[in-house]
């Protein structure tokens, strides 16, 4: 069990890492983005920017690389995302990550009164769907059917191809002998 706690400590450190002031990371990330965009432009000259999904993946991989080099800790992004999906709600990101207590629940209640922020993290959305929680930014539509606003058919029924050349009298006298 001690290995999971140390791994959790690494995840918390990674989650709390100050990427904005880490100049080596910023320079490396800019170089990675420039090279990736250049590769995209070589394949398709009409490309002007990196797609958001690719950009986020590049950022996450760069963070993992620079974090491992700087701290000496090893982090697997898939395991981290899984941990984050199940545990991030227990921690707040500030200057220092702390475990949330009861005092924090009052401040989160005040934030829930305003419009919830949109979340584009796929795993987080899947977690919300699986748990049955509402998804931020999605309107809830009531399960009601308006019965008084139905419509009636106004067009005549189309004839089928095998009925086009038949007269109404011959349709009942068809024999297959």
Residues 6+ apart with CB under 8 A from 73: 10, 13, 14, 67
First to last CA, the chain: 83
Q: Is residue 70 part of a domain?
A: yes
CA 41 to chain centre: 26
Q: How many contiguous H segments (helices) and E segments (strands) does the chain have?
A: 6, 2
**Is 153 a member of any domain?**
no
User: Average pLDDT of 60-70?
Assistant: 86
- Taking the model in full, what pTM does it have? 0.47
Look at residue 148 and tell me if it is in a domain.
no
Report the domain count for the chain. Answer: 1
Bridge partners (DSSP) listed for residue 92: 98
Domain housing 100: 2-104+115-131
Look at 145 and 44; give whichever has higher pLDDT. 44
Q: Percentage of residues in the chain with pLDDT exceeding 90? A: 0
Whether residue 144 is contained in a domain is answered as no
> Does pLDDT of 97 surpass 50?
no
């Amino acid at each position: 069990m001690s290995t999971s706690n140390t791994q959790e400590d690494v995840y918390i450190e990674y989650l709390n890492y100050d990427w904005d002031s880490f100049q080596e990371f910023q320079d490396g990330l800019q170089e990675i983005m420039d090279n990736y965009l250049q590769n995209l432009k070589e394949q398709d000259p009409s490309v002007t920017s990196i797609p958001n999904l690719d950009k986020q993946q590049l950022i996450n991989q760069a963070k993992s690389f620079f974090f491992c080099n700087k701290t000496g800790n090893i982090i697997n992004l898939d395991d981290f995302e899984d941990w984050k999906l199940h545990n991030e709600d227990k921690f707040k990101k500030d200057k220092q990550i702390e475990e949330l207590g009861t005092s924090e629940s009052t401040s989160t209640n005040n934030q829930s009164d305003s419009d919830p922020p949109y979340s584009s993290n796929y795993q987080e959305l899947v977690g919300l769907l699986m748990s049955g929680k509402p998804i931020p930014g999605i309107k809830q539509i009531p399960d009601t059917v308006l019965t008084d606003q139905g419509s009636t058919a106004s067009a005549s029924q189309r004839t089928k191809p095998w009925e086009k050349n038949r007269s109404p009298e011959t349709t009942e006298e068809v024999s297959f002998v």
